[in-house]
Structure 1
Amino acid sequence: MLGKTTPPRNPAIACAAAGLAGRAGGLPRKAPPWSLGLPLVTRLLVVGQSTAVLARPQP
């Protein structure tokens, strides 16, 4: 659900497989925090690796 329109059956199938049948209506409310959080974590990793914070030491 990150950045694309999903057909209604995909969340329903995922909820049924996870044992959450009938709770697919709550997924759109949970998607925005993940849509904002995942790119933020990715940015932090990229910035950390491009600086001395997470960079590997050069031989």
Structure 2
Amino acid sequence: MTSTCRGHGHRLRGRRPRRAGGDLLRKVLPWSLGLLLVMCLFVTAQSTAVLGWMLP
């Protein structure tokens, strides 16, 4: 994720290339952590009776 933000950071206009990667990472990181939390909750729900029907 960090290398992707670094590689595409130069596309942000009005920012220095070195600073743009950090700005992009700060925007992407909360979404990534949120998705991780959702996936953890989903897996936990599958191990209980709530979504246990999804597993064979």
What TM bracket, shorter-length normalisation? 0.5 to 0.7
Q: Which has the higher helix share?
A: 2
Unmatched 5+ stretches in structure 2: none
Kindly indicate whether structure 1 or structure 2 has the higher relative contact order, using CA contacts under 8 Å at least 6 residues apart. 1
Percent of residue pairs identical: 47
How large is the RMSD of aligned CA atoms in angstroms? 3.1
Per the normalisation by structure 2, the TM-score is 0.56
**Residues matched between the structures, number:** 48
Unmatched 5+ stretches in structure 1: 16-20
Per the normalisation by structure 1, the TM-score is 0.54
Q: Which runs of at least 4 in structure 1 moved beyond 2 Å after TM superposition?
A: 21-26
